[in-house]
Amino acid sequence: QILLSIGNAICISLIILSWALFARDCDDASVIMKEREIQWLIRRGGTIFMFGRSGNAQYFQYVFFTIFSQIITLVKEIRKVTV
């Protein structure tokens, strides 16, 4: 139980760290933002994070990996409590 709690805390810390490091625009964000499908978002105003084309999150894939590891840790913890 203690090891799972430590693992959970590590995963949460890694998620925060990965968001800080990898939540940025992809290299071709300016090209993607010129596409017609994205123009309505730009006209609305505000900040748009362009992580990449659909299915190809250039830097953000590392955030997905840490979130996935957190989900695995939580599922193991929940299964252990309910069994």
Distance CA 76, CA 24 (A): 31
Does position 83 have pLDDT exceeding 70, yes or no? Answer: no
> pTM of this prediction?
0.53
pLDDT digits (tens, 9 = 90+) for 13-64: 888 888 888 877 888 888 888 888 888 888 888 777 777 787 788 888 888 8
Q: Residue 21 is encoded by which pair of tokens?
A: 């490091």
Each domain of the chain, given as residue ranges in start order, spans: 1-23+60-83, 24-57
Tokens representing residue 50 in the block: 């362009």
Token pair of 35 as six digits:
């596409």
Instruction: Pick the closest to residue 12 from 60, 62, 66 (CA basis).
Output: 66
